Structure 1
Amino acid sequence: MADVEYIKGIRRALHQNPELGGEEWETSKRIQQELEGAGIPFKTGFAKTGVLGIIEGGKKGGTVALRADIDALPISEKADVDFKSKVDGKMHACGHDAHTSMLLGTAFRLQEMKDELPGRVLLVFQPNEESTPIGGARPMMEDGVFSEYKPDVIFGQHVWPDLPVGQIGVRDKEMMAASDRLSFTIKGEGGHASMPHQGKDAIVIAAEFISSLQSIVSRNTNPLDSAVITIGTISGGYRYNVIADHVELNGTVRTYSKKAKETVKRRIANLVKGFEVAYEVTIDFDYIEGYDATVNTPEWSELVRSSAAGLLGEKALPDVSPSMAGEDFSRFLTEIPGAFYWLGCAKEGEESPKPLHDPEFFFNEDALEIGIDAMVDVTVNALRKLQVRQ
């Protein structure tokens, strides 16, 4: 059995050598080397860099899948650690290096006890999680990752800096939001800044348009159905004394319910039409549907809860609110029952831990062993539950 220090070494090596989605060739090679060294059969070629490890238990039973994402983000690291990223502009700022190493640690443990396992465990190392709307989950399934062995249940674990080490967050329903993209190009008419009546100022129109977008959430969606519309980038204009003839806006929509999503989508389309008429401009609009909402299957989230309570005690399971962040694991959950849960990883003594996707994000490595123990217990308990059903 590989010890925690060995797993920590894997995590730090991955952290120093981050690879973006679709480029995880060396990360994939390292995963394959570790599985081969542990005597765990595997298959490759799923979504280019994805890997599927297969542990056959010694007894008949069901099939449990465990997923870890393996890609990094285009962020320059600012965290003060000895194993800082060696690649300029790339960083494991979402903890996928920890996810990968913990799944490997879980695989080593399960492989050692495979003769006693009642069923099969699939180890899903997924690329491209950060690349919405395509992602890596759907391409892996399209490439046949589950064509030979269809899981009865799938679990995903994500490090969570909002929780301290030793706590696990899980919900019976929504965990993460649907994540969609927006893009607008407002096409007005340029002119001299001193003569605005001769042009159609795309910047003024954009300002009012952005404010109107926010009224969709406050006045069109049910207050009990969470929704967020954010414009993240604005680009337009040439010079201080020139009326801009076009402005480009890019943003995102986050929702939990399909009803709220459809309401937002419909109202944005209507708003675009209204602004075109009111301001006599053209607005090119694109709504790109991304990841679905990550919604747990109640019976399997309860299994995560009971497993974590047995491992860490009831106090380790605080009530948590869902996050409006998106997650590609949702694509698996649309086809397979399962649960997604959060692993506390906050830096000890830090009152306001840096969030995921922050250049100073810090993963507390004290969470590694807890994450492995939790995933092992969840897997074994799920296999036993499936065995009873047969």
Structure 2
Amino acid sequence: MNFDQITEEAIEFRRELHQFPELSDEEFETSERIQRQLTALGIPFETGFAGTGVLGIIEGAHEGKTVGLRADIDALPIHEISGEPFSSKNEGVMHACGHDAHTSMLVAVGKVLMERRDEIHGTVLLIFQPAEEKSPTGGSQRMMDEGIFDGREPDVLIAQHVWPGLPVGQFGVMAGPVMGNSDRFKLVIRGSGGHASMPNDTVDAIIVGTQVVNALQTIVSRNADPFEPSVVTVGKFQAGSQHNVIAETAEIVGTIRTQSNETKEMVKERFHKIVNNVTEAMGASVDIEYLDGYPATINSEEWADQMHETISKLYGEAALPKVRPSLAGEDFGRFLLKYPGVYYWLGTSVGEGQKPLHNPSFRLNEDAFKYGIEAMSQGAIDTLGKLKAGQ
């Protein structure tokens, strides 16, 4: 099988997955489709990790270390309006983050590596991870807790993510933090409702809530180091029922994104102080639910450099523009807390009209598949070669 055919089949499989997306922890058909692909390739696999996770195992022709390659397999609760002829057939569910592409490319990488086993010094693990979108719990920790790496500890882990901000043929590779800490919060402010004509007899939860929202913005503007990225976003503010009733309660939901753990702890501390003090000063009370989400995804310098070298040899330095980290959350960060590795971006821009990840009109450029498949398969071989040389 030639490389062009492998790429075409990967695109075909991606379109199949795209039509039948499944939410976190519900990826049953997706898991079955992956298993059928691996069976057809003769790749041994194990199942059941984190419910629907699959682990393919490729043994090279030579002894050596172990490298794990990860793809996430879940979709999002979004109604698709992309206009693609292979749009989602599952109402209200969409592959709006490219996980269908990650999964199909990893299967294709498996095809490539099976044909190049003579070049493999060691073992390659194909990790199909469920529930990446299920922050703050996710699927990576559960996979590890359930023994996915028992008896086959990876020496290095590698993952790639489609990136609409980069053109096809370019990659985002960097050492250190590449994705941010991703925390969530929910506030229920309790005031004292009453008639709109008599506010003096009430504690207006809406007024208290607006003051809390405004005060939270001072954390980034007045407490955070300007050179340390951080974001406090309120995504939902719900309160009130009638035009002539002062609200008794208000619900505020949002997210906090940071890059460094020091900034994360500072923002978290200031968040609690501000919320408690503002509500108390205005005569209200508050219930705070703060969820520590995914940790920052921090690449090992050694393996980021190795992936940079692999891509440079394949496509030249022009394929590796300087990029800045993102504050988006990524469950792969939990894998990297335990194992060294690298997470990089694959340029998939469709050009003019490109919508961002998680948008109901999100589309990706399938011309990027050949780059994603080749870079990841060569990266696995090169990484194992470097590990072998260092033994």
The normalised TM-score by structure 2 is: 0.98
Matches within 5 A, 1:358-377: 358-377=359-378
Matches within 5 A, 1:41-56: 41-56=44-59
Whether 2:244 is the aligned partner of 1:246: answer no
Task: Write the distance in 2 (CA, Å) between the matches of 1:63 and 1:109.
Answer: 17
Task: Write the distance in 1 (CA, Å) between the matches of 2:83 and 2:275.
Answer: 46
Residue range with higher mean Cα deviation, 271-280 or 195-204: 271-280
Aligned to 2:6: 3
Whether 2:201 is the aligned partner of 1:232: answer no
Task: Write the distance in 1 (CA, Å) between the matches of 2:263 and 2:385.
Answer: 38
Task: Write the distance in 2 (CA, Å) between the matches of 1:9 and 1:172.
Answer: 33
Task: Write the distance in 2 (CA, Å) between the matches of 1:15 and 1:124.
Answer: 19
The one of 111, 114, 117 aligned to 1:111: 114
Residue by residue over 1:323-369, the C-alpha shift from the partner in whole angstroms, topping out at 9 and shown as x without a partner, is 1100000000000000000000000x41x510000001001110111
Residue by residue over 1:266-323, the C-alpha shift from the partner in whole angstroms, topping out at 9 and shown as x without a partner, is 1111112212321121110111001000110011001111111111111110000111
| Aligned partner letter, 2:140 | A
> Would you say how many aligned residue pairs link Structure 1 and Structure 2?
388
SS of 2:18's equivalent in the other structure is helix
Tell me how large the CA RMSD over aligned residues is: 0.9
Whether 2:27 is the aligned partner of 1:24: answer yes
Using the TM superposition, give the Cα deviation of residue 217 of structure 1 relative to its aligned residue in structure 2, in angstroms.
1.1
Task: Write the distance in 2 (CA, Å) between the matches of 1:191 and 1:262.
Answer: 38
Using the TM superposition, give the Cα deviation of residue 4 of structure 1 relative to its aligned residue in structure 2, in angstroms.
1.7
Task: Write the distance in 1 (CA, Å) between the matches of 2:83 and 2:280.
Answer: 53
Aligned to 1:310: 313
Residue by residue over 1:215-243, the C-alpha shift from the partner in whole angstroms, topping out at 9 and shown as x without a partner, is 01111111111111001011110101110
Aligned to 1:165: 168
C-alpha contact 2:109 2:373 (8 A) present in aligned 1: yes
Matches within 5 A, 1:172-183: 172-183=175-186
C-alpha contact 2:212 2:279 (8 A) present in aligned 1: no
Aligned to 1:379: 380
C-alpha contact 2:208 2:284 (8 A) present in aligned 1: no
C-alpha contact 2:97 2:357 (8 A) present in aligned 1: yes
SS of 1:164's equivalent in the other structure is coil
Aligned to 1:337: 340
| Aligned partner letter, 2:314 | L
Residue by residue over 1:189-215, the C-alpha shift from the partner in whole angstroms, topping out at 9 and shown as x without a partner, is 001111111000000111111000000
* Moved beyond 4 Å, runs of 4+: none
Aligned to 1:80: 83
Task: Write the distance in 1 (CA, Å) between the matches of 2:191 and 2:278.
Answer: 11
Using the TM superposition, give the Cα deviation of residue 5 of structure 1 relative to its aligned residue in structure 2, in angstroms.
1.6
Task: Write the distance in 2 (CA, Å) between the matches of 1:20 and 1:114.
Answer: 34
| Aligned partner letter, 1:100 | T
| Aligned partner letter, 2:378 | D
Residue by residue over 1:26-61, the C-alpha shift from the partner in whole angstroms, topping out at 9 and shown as x without a partner, is 100011111111110000110000000000111111
Aligned to 2:71: 68
Whether 2:140 is the aligned partner of 1:137: answer yes
Residue by residue over 1:95-151, the C-alpha shift from the partner in whole angstroms, topping out at 9 and shown as x without a partner, is 000000000000011011213311000000000000001101001001101112000
Aligned to 2:356: 355
Task: Write the distance in 2 (CA, Å) between the matches of 1:76 and 1:238.
Answer: 28
SS of 1:94's equivalent in the other structure is coil
| Aligned partner letter, 1:366 | D
Residue by residue over 1:60-105, the C-alpha shift from the partner in whole angstroms, topping out at 9 and shown as x without a partner, is 1110000000000000111111101111100000000000000000
Which segments of 5 or more consecutive residues in structure 1 lack a partner in the other structure? none
| Aligned partner letter, 1:131 | K
Task: Write the distance in 1 (CA, Å) between the matches of 2:16 and 2:125.
Answer: 24
Using the TM superposition, give the Cα deviation of residue 385 of structure 1 relative to its aligned residue in structure 2, in angstroms.
0.1
Using the TM superposition, give the Cα deviation of residue 3 of structure 1 relative to its aligned residue in structure 2, in angstroms.
2.2
Aligned to 1:326: 329
Aligned to 1:389: 390
The percent identity for this pair of structures is 51
| Aligned partner letter, 2:181 | A
Using the TM superposition, give the Cα deviation of residue 17 of structure 1 relative to its aligned residue in structure 2, in angstroms.
0.3
Task: Write the distance in 1 (CA, Å) between the matches of 2:311 and 2:6.
Answer: 21
Which segments of 5 or more consecutive residues in structure 2 lack a partner in the other structure? none
The normalised TM-score by structure 1 is: 0.98
Aligned to 2:216: 213
Task: Write the distance in 1 (CA, Å) between the matches of 2:108 and 2:313.
Answer: 20
SS of 1:340's equivalent in the other structure is strand
SS of 2:338's equivalent in the other structure is coil
